Amino acid sequence: MQEYKLFINGEWLESSDGETFDDINPATLELIGKIHKASDEDVKSAIDSAEEAFDSWSSTPAPQRAKILFRAARMLEERKEELARLMTTEMGKVLKEAQGDVQEAIDIAYYAAGEGRRLLGETTPSELPDKFAMTVRRPIGVVGLITPWNFPLAIPAWKIMPALIAGNTLVLKPASDTPIMAIELVKILADAGLPKGVLNLVTGGGDIVGSAIVHNKKIRAVSFTGSLETGKWILGEAGKEMKRVSLELGGKNPIIVMDDADLSLAIDGIIWGAFGTTGQRCTAASRVIAHEKILPALLKKLIERTKKLRLGNGLDENTDVGPVINNSQLQKIAKYAGLGKSEGAELALGGRIAHPLPGYFFEPTHGKRYSALSFPCSLPATLKKRYG
Ligand code: NAP
């Protein structure tokens, strides 16, 4: 079984106490890797290396930094198919979506590399004599990056590439469910010529490794994508030290379908919004609010279309919907289906853990619930509708 190590000061290292955790394929429950679990000491050493590398990296001209990012972008492009397959194996999303995730990493790498020649400042006239007023862009310092599992390559890349081009040095902690994708990205950047210490990677649980990053005084900013609960906690803890914090958190997104809508277009949008990435996106649509006139037709067609969705391993090209990420998410979804019913919703389709598939699969599910809604006054007053 392949072991995946920590990346500290340009070297792949075992965790100092030798502990590892398992990385599981959510579609088959097969073990795909043993991941080293960073200790407090490992996190500290990763942060110290990033601090040590800061002076040299931040004083490297941005167009030179960009050359490394351009190389990394090309390497990502060359490995797109292989990385997408690995992503499907580790995270479960269907291959087409995994290809899109890798493409996002490629795009941000090129975009950020282009910024190497556009780190522009501003000049502005001063009201004082003999004064020249201007702004220049300066890096912040050592930045902690904490990422979730649902976009396992794109999100680390969205954080790493802009931070690097601006001259920061980094410590990345990926989600424990998808560390291999982040490890592959770090390998690519190292092979593209990133100097040692500029990007460090520590794997392990949020409570130990994530928390050690957030609390370390040398970390000047934290960029986090994940759940609202963790985001609130990070904001509070980092705020105590006046660290800068960037948060991208969860969403609860409705799709509104009016009586003049093109229903087949609406259904395409709902199916993609609800079941794309098995509904595990911050941009996923968890509700449809429909005009009462079209509600019966919409629901009928929606259920017909949803019944055709094929659950399975995302590597199989016939699969429309892959597994959810882990058993705790599977149980949470089952709990929500029950909660919806107890709060008065009717189950229109699905609602159960899918058997006999070996992995973490949940049936594509629709609930319906009728109730009059008052819309905010910015919408036409005639919109007193029902949602399902
Ligand atoms: P999560 O539980 O908050 O975990 C996200 C990351 O934070 C993981 O790396 C996790 O480590 C780490 N973490 C957990 N507790 C921590 C702590 N106390 N201190 C520091 N780090 C900690 O969220 P998730 O379930 O993985 O991610 C799904 C969420 O991300 C959903 O709510 C989704 O909507 C949101 N999301 C938002 C966007 C956006 O752009 N707004 C994009 C994608 C996803 P472990 O993996 O080790 O637990």
Q: Is the CB of 4 under 6 A from ligand 1?
A: no
Question: Judging by DSSP bridges, how do beta strands 346-349 and 366-368 pair with one another?
Answer: antiparallel
Q: Which atom of ligand 1 is nearest to the CA of 229?
A: 3
- What spacing in Å lies between the alpha carbon of 231 and ligand 1's midpoint? 8
pLDDT in tens, 180-225: 999 999 999 999 999 999 999 999 999 999 999 999 999 999 999 9
Amino acid 264: pLDDT = 95
Pocket test for ligand 1, best of 282, 329, 331, 336 (most atoms within 8 A of CB): 282
Amino acid 386: pLDDT = 36
Pocket test for ligand 1, best of 145, 225, 327 (most atoms within 8 A of CB): 225
Amino acid 368: pLDDT = 85
Instruction: Kindly report the pTM of this predicted structure.
Output: 0.94
Query: How far, in Å, CA of 367 to CA of 141, rounded?
Result: 48
Query: How far, in Å, CA of 220 to CA of 233, rounded?
Result: 17
Give every CB contact of residue 324 below 8 A, 6+ residues apart in sequence.
26, 92, 278, 280, 330, 333, 360, 361, 362
Q: Is the CB of 245 under 6 A from ligand 1?
A: no
- What spacing in Å lies between the alpha carbon of 275 and ligand 1's midpoint? 20
Give yes or no: 377 in active site: no
Amino acid 354: pLDDT = 94
Question: Judging by DSSP bridges, how do beta strands 11-13 and 20-24 pair with one another?
Answer: unpaired
Element spanning 41, H or E: helix 40-58
- What spacing in Å lies between the alpha carbon of 123 and ligand 1's midpoint? 39
- Residue whose CA is at the smallest distance from ligand 1 atom 15: 206
* Residue numbers in the chain where pLDDT is lower than 50: 374-388
Q: Is the CB of 233 under 6 A from ligand 1?
A: yes
Give the relative orientation of helices 80-91 and 95-115 as an angle to the nearest 10 degrees: 120
Question: Judging by DSSP bridges, how do beta strands 20-24 and 31-36 pair with one another?
Answer: antiparallel
Question: Environment class of residue 323 by beta-carbon count within 10 Å: exposed (0-12), middle (13-18) or buried (19+)?
Answer: buried
Give yes or no: 78 in active site: no
Amino acid 344: pLDDT = 87
- What spacing in Å lies between the alpha carbon of 247 and ligand 1's midpoint? 10
List 52, 77, 104, 248, catalytic entry: 248
List 104, 237, 282, 292, catalytic entry: 282
Q: Report all structural domains of the chain as residue ranges with CATH numbers, in order of start.
A: 3-123+135-248 (3.40.605.10), 253-368 (3.40.309.10)
- Residue whose CA is at the smallest distance from ligand 1 atom 18: 207
- What spacing in Å lies between the alpha carbon of 76 and ligand 1's midpoint? 24
Compute the chain's Rg from CA coordinates. 23
